[in-house]
Amino acid sequence: MERIPGQLPDVSVVVPVYNAQDYIYNTLLSVIQQTGVSLEIICVNDGSTDSSGAILQQFEQDDARIVLIQQENQGLSVSRNVGLRAASGRYVVFLDADDLWPKDNLAALVKFADAHHVQLLMFDTDAFIEGTSTTDKELLLAYYQPRSEIREPLIGTAVLAKQLALGQYRQSACLYLINRDWLVHTGLQFTPGFNHEDNAFTFGLLLQADRVALLPLKFYSRRIRDGSITTAQSDVKSVLGYFVAYLDMHELFKMLPITNKQYEQIKKYLDYYLRSLKQKYYHLEPSGRDEVIQQIAIRPGGATLLRKILESDHSNHSLSSLAYELRHFIFRLVNRTPFLAPLLEVYHRVRAFKITR
């Protein structure tokens, strides 16, 4: 659907690109083939050193809806923020350069969002493994299960609490159609320079939104591959990202009135996140822990967070590691034996009980 001159596009699609020559053609093809909706496709080439830039330039020449922004390499967060500032659509949605929109459903999402006047509209995802299967990738594949539909909009904190209780909270910013004017009003951006930037961003969206819905359409298709941010969970850079995300989420949470009905439940989620953070920290080698301390100590709130980590009793670290391995085993078993899928629901219920009790 072509844009009408002088009229805002329905959706601005922000696609950060860095060395994605093997994927970006099919990614953009899945976007430009959406029908029944006017698009602005903002591609931010984040200093790619492969042929991604040339592929993007060809798309820009062939399709007037594509806006290409060139910048030196600054990372995913900066690229998304740059794309968001350039956006003019009524809604904004993020798409990673190695993922896809396999179905022509964007117009249906926009129609629902317009009819129900939502600030956030969630949707679901499929995931597929590329390359040799590993435990972590299988764990992520099982993680992307269908979620409960929310057709009548709810306040964001109620949605967050509901999804935490059901084990259905997904942090990925790519699974939200967002009202752009409202997003700009919130002032939310991605924290530059660290992995797991989605965690605080989507947490902030739900804390501030008044009208949130979810359609269980598997509109997004996530590629799970070696070397991606999604599958790199255990190195120092990843753990640093989790630390920074916790600090950002804690700051956002402090703005939530204690009278909010979901206050205690969301607080318990942050406590659970902190316990998980401790486990990731103690999985690092001593040199890695030192690097985390040096970088986190200089951030606002970092010294207090480090005291919580360092003064905690981690004598049960071996037990936590055993639980971690057991969880991976269960996910592998469920993935390879579909009729055991109810085990996954049991896992989510137990995990949700731990978070919300």
Alpha carbon 124 to chain centroid distance?
A: 12
Q: Establish if 231 belongs to a structural domain.
A: no
Of 191, 224, 257, which residue constitutes the final position of a domain?
224
Q: Establish if 230 belongs to a structural domain.
A: no
Q: What is the band of 263 on the pLDDT scale with cuts at 50, 70, 90? A: very high
**179-229: pLDDT as tens digits:** 999 999 999 999 999 999 999 999 999 999 999 999 999 999 998 876 554
Q: Establish if 229 belongs to a structural domain.
A: no
Q: Establish if 3 belongs to a structural domain.
A: no
Q: What is the band of 350 on the pLDDT scale with cuts at 50, 70, 90? A: low
Q: Establish if 114 belongs to a structural domain.
A: yes
Interacting residues of 311 by C-beta distance below 8 A, sequence separation 6+: none
Of 192, 224, 256, which residue constitutes the final position of a domain?
224
- Phi then psi for residue 129, to 5 deg, are -90, 130
Strand partners, 121: 177, 213
Whether residues 254 and 217 fall in one domain: no
What is the extent of the structural domain holding 80?
11-224
Q: What is the band of 321 on the pLDDT scale with cuts at 50, 70, 90? A: very low
How many other CB atoms are there within 10 angstroms of residue 108's CB atom? 16
Instruction: Record the tokens describing residue 181, joined without a space.
Output: 């004017």
What percent of the chain is predicted at pLDDT more than 90? Answer: 67
Whether residues 174 and 319 fall in one domain: no
Q: Are 89 and 9 in contact (CB under 8 A)?
A: yes
User: Does residue 85 sit in helix, strand or coil?
Assistant: helix
Q: Establish if 181 belongs to a structural domain.
A: yes
Whether residues 18 and 164 fall in one domain: yes
Whether residues 38 and 107 fall in one domain: yes
Number of domains composing the chain: 2
Is pLDDT of 315 > 70? no
Whether residues 176 and 301 fall in one domain: no
Beta strands in the chain (DSSP E): 11-17, 39-46, 66-71, 91-94, 120-129, 150-154, 176-179, 212-224
Q: Give residue 304's identity as a one-letter amino acid code.
A: T
Whether residues 270 and 338 fall in one domain: yes
User: Does residue 118 sit in helix, strand or coil?
Assistant: coil
Strand partners, 71: 46
CA–CA distance, 293 with 350 (Å, rounded to integer) = 32
Q: Establish if 2 belongs to a structural domain.
A: no
Whether residues 156 and 27 fall in one domain: yes
For residue 51, give the CATH number of its domain. Answer: 3.90.550.10
Strand partners, 223: 128
Whether residues 201 and 347 fall in one domain: no
Of 201, 224, 247, which residue constitutes the final position of a domain?
224
| Position with higher pLDDT, 129 vs 207 | 207
What's the pTM value of the predicted model, to 2 decimals? 0.84
Q: What is the band of 311 on the pLDDT scale with cuts at 50, 70, 90? A: confident
Interacting residues of 169 by C-beta distance below 8 A, sequence separation 6+: 160, 163
Q: Establish if 256 belongs to a structural domain.
A: yes
Whether residues 65 and 202 fall in one domain: yes
Q: What DSSP line would sit under 24-81, residue for residue?
A: HHHHHHHHHT--SS-EEEEEEEES-SSTHHHHHHHHHHH-TTEEEEEE----HHHHHH
**324-344: pLDDT as tens digits:** 445 545 555 555 555 555 555
Whether residues 195 and 246 fall in one domain: no
Q: Are 124 and 147 in contact (CB under 8 A)?
A: yes
Q: Are 309 and 281 in contact (CB under 8 A)?
A: yes
CA–CA distance, 15 with 23 (Å, rounded to integer) = 12
Whether residues 200 and 261 fall in one domain: no
Whether residues 104 and 30 fall in one domain: yes
CA–CA distance, 165 with 209 (Å, rounded to integer) = 19
